[in-house]
């Protein structure tokens, strides 16, 4: 879809939705086509606005003045917001598709994605207003409310359900979508270092360049990578369809897990390490300090698994270090995105210390040190899947580096493909 067609479709959805929804519902489409020809373009608007407003314009803080986020951190936040928005759209479409029979509609994943994507137009376009200081929240509310209105109007056309059940269909979809968003935040937030630390490895991001009217992106660009991603999503969707037809609950659960794995870029479903396999990587002592506490667990949501081991090491005094080892499981695609991206080096220095991210020995490394508090953090990404982080009070950052080197990083890396179930 050409840019002018995208803008024309967005305008029609906003101004004449009642006549546009029947046209949308009748169009032959694919999941990949919807992403490459509409979603990945408009979904980028909120992320771009957020970056511009938080780094270049600044956010007004009452009584304190204007606050500007460092460009590296702002760009990282924008990219992660964009990637997760693309995933969230697809997951919500799955919800719409699954709920269809309950409200007299017909299951059709492509039509469900149409309903979610085109109704989101209002939110995406309204977010442009957020570039004006103080209007971000208002823009989000107005865009969100109008998007709900569009979804309510579009469901009878796309999912072929009765109009009198559209309100209930819409309400349940919104409620479940909010819950899914909350679960996503918890799962992603549990991954050590994917935010302001390791996530800064994403700062080499360059916006996709739209090149051809057919909707294809130039080879090697981010857009081309996203198009390849949408193809994987379409293939994973076919596997889910086949599993549903088989009537086998285990096959259905496995197919959904593989689809989620494809969504987060891990290449398929990934079972994170069980606690008893992660536990041996937590040593009894660390740089001469005795282990005083340890916790190992594995949790899952939406077909994704994350395993985490935490431990505390201390002497009889005030010296204490905290160790955290995370197996990101199906989220390893996001970690690989950070670890493998070009231009990951970032270095910020202040009067009290520094914060930097760089590559060393094939690993993405993040270190942070506060001279006044003698407190720091040092961590590495191993095998584009595991994160190992040590933090606490120390004589210098070298002590934290020694602590991390005391972990069997080579042993962890050797397990990077364990539990991976390719699509």
Contacts of 413 (CB under 8 A, 6+ apart): 382, 383, 386
Together in a domain, 280 and 185: no
Together in a domain, 22 and 167: yes
163 in any annotated domain: yes
Does the model's pTM come out above 0.75?
A: no
* pLDDT > 90? residue 203: no
CA-nearest of 114, 101, 118, 108 to 162 is: 101
223 in any annotated domain: no
pLDDT tens digit sequence for 326-363:
887 766 555 554 444 444 567 788 888 998 888 887 78
Residue 315: helix, strand or coil by DSSP? coil
Label residue 152 by pLDDT band (50, 70, 90).
very high
Label residue 305 by pLDDT band (50, 70, 90).
confident
Confidence (pLDDT) at 294: 95
Confidence (pLDDT) at 73: 58
Confidence (pLDDT) at 254: 64
CA 310 – CA 281 distance, rounded (Å): 11
The mean pLDDT of 227-253, rounded to a whole number, is 64
Range name among 248-257, 271-280, 304-313, 401-410 with the lowest pLDDT average: 248-257
Greatest mean pLDDT range, 14-28, 86-100, 246-260, 343-357: 14-28
pLDDT tens digit sequence for 31-89:
888 888 888 888 888 878 777 766 655 555 444 445 555 665 566 666 777 877 888 88
* Contact yes or no for 130/57 (Cβ under 8 A): no
The mean pLDDT of 299-319, rounded to a whole number, is 78
* pLDDT > 70? residue 174: yes
The mean pLDDT of 95-99, rounded to a whole number, is 88
Confidence (pLDDT) at 205: 33
Label residue 227 by pLDDT band (50, 70, 90).
low
How many structural domains does the chain have? 2
Report the percentage of the chain scoring pLDDT > 70.
Answer: 65
* pLDDT > 50? residue 210: no
**Which domain-ending residue is among 171, 189, 207?**
189
Together in a domain, 33 and 142: yes
259 in any annotated domain: no
**In 242-385, beta strands by DSSP E:** 268-270, 285-286, 289-301, 304-314, 320-327, 346-349, 353-360, 363-370, 375-382
* Contact yes or no for 217/228 (Cβ under 8 A): no
Range name among 78-82, 161-165, 239-243, 281-285 with the lowest pLDDT average: 239-243
The mean pLDDT of 22-32, rounded to a whole number, is 90
Q: Which residue has the higher pLDDT, 130 or 40?
A: 40
Host H or E run for residue 389: strand 386-393
Greatest mean pLDDT range, 107-111, 198-202, 208-212: 107-111
Confidence (pLDDT) at 365: 87
Residue 404: helix, strand or coil by DSSP? helix
Confidence (pLDDT) at 323: 95
Range name among 225-229, 253-257, 375-379 with the lowest pLDDT average: 225-229
Burial class of 48 by CB neighbour count within 10 A (0 to 12, 13 to 18, 19+): middle
Together in a domain, 180 and 293: no
Together in a domain, 176 and 279: no
Average pLDDT, whole number, for the chain?
76
CA 371 – CA 381 distance, rounded (Å): 25
219 in any annotated domain: no
205 in any annotated domain: no
Together in a domain, 138 and 283: no
Label residue 141 by pLDDT band (50, 70, 90).
confident
* Contact yes or no for 400/391 (Cβ under 8 A): yes
**Which domain-ending residue is among 155, 189, 223?**
189
261 in any annotated domain: no
The values of phi and psi at residue 78, to 5°, are: -65, -45
Together in a domain, 163 and 308: no
Q: Which residue has the higher pLDDT, 351 or 213?
A: 351
- 252-260: which pairs have CB atoms within 8 A and are 24 or more residues apart? 253/303, 254/421, 256/303, 257/303, 257/304, 257/330, 257/421, 258/303, 258/421, 258/423, 259/233, 259/303, 260/91, 260/302, 260/303, 260/304, 260/330
Q: Supply the DSSP string of 139-167, one letter for each residue.
A: HHHHHHHHHHHHHHHHHHHHS---GGGHH
Confidence (pLDDT) at 350: 85
34 in any annotated domain: yes
**Which domain-ending residue is among 189, 219, 246?**
189
Together in a domain, 164 and 24: yes
- 289-295: which pairs have CB atoms within 8 A and are 24 or more residues apart? 289/313, 289/314, 289/315, 289/319, 289/320, 289/321, 290/314, 290/315
Residue 421: helix, strand or coil by DSSP? strand
**Helices 44-51 & 71-99, crossing angle to 10 degrees?**
160
Label residue 255 by pLDDT band (50, 70, 90).
low
Together in a domain, 162 and 295: no
Contacts of 300 (CB under 8 A, 6+ apart): 306, 329
For residue 291, give its domain range: 275-422
198 in any annotated domain: no
Q: What number of residues does the chain have?
A: 423
The mean pLDDT of 1-27, rounded to a whole number, is 88
């Amino acid at each position: 879809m050409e840019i002018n067609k995208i803008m024309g479709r967005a305008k029609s959805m906003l101004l004449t939705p009642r006549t546009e929804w029947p046209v949308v519902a009748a169009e032959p489409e694919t999941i990949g086509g919807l992403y490459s020809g509409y979603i990945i373009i408009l979904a980028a608007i909120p992320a771009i606005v957020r970056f511009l407003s938080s780094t270049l314009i600044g956010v007004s803080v009452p009584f304190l003045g204007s606050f500007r986020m460092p460009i590296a951190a702002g760009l990282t936040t924008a990219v992660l917001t964009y990637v997760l928005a693309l995933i969230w759209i697809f997951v919500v479409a799955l919800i719409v598709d699954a709920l269809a029979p309950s409200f007299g509609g017909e299951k059709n994943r492509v039509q469900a994605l149409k309903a979610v994507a085109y109704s989101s137009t209002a939110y995406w376009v309204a977010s442009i207003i957020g570039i004006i200081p103080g209007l971000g929240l208002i823009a989000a509310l107005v865009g969100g409310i109008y998007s709900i209105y569009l979804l309510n109007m579009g469901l009878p056309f796309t999912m072929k359900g009765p109009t009198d059940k559209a309100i209930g269909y819409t309400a349940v979809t919104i409620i479940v979508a909010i819950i899914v968003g909350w679960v996503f935040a918890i799962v992603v937030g549990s991954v050590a270092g994917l935010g302001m630390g390791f996530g800064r490895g994403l700062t080499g991001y360059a916006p996709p360049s739209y090149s051809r009217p057919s909707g294809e992106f130039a080879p090697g660009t981010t857009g081309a990578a996203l198009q390849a991603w949408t193809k994987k999503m379409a293939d994973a969707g076919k596997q889910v369809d086949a599993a549903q037809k088989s009537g086998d609950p285990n096959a259905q659960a496995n197919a959904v897990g593989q689809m989620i794995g494809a969504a987060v870029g891990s290449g398929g479903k990934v079972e994170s390490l069980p606690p008893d396999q992660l536990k041996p990587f937590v040593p009894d002592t660390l740089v001469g300090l005795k282990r005083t506490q340890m916790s190992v667990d594995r949790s899952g949501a939406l077909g994704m698994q994350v395993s985490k081991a935490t431990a505390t090491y201390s002497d009889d005094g005030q010296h204490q270090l905290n160790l955290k080892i995370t197996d990101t499981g199906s989220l390893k695609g996001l970690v690989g995105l950070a670890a493998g991206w070009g231009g990951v080096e970032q270095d910020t220095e202040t009067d009290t210390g520094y914060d930097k991210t760089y590559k060393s020995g094939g690993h993405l490394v993040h270190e942070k040190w506060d001279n006044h508090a003698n407190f720091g953090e040092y961590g590495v990404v191993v095998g584009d899947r595991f994160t190992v982080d040590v933090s606490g009070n120390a004589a210098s950052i070298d002590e934290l580096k020694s602590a991390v080197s005391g972990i069997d990083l080579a042993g962890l890396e050797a397990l990077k493909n364990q539990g991976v179930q390719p699509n």
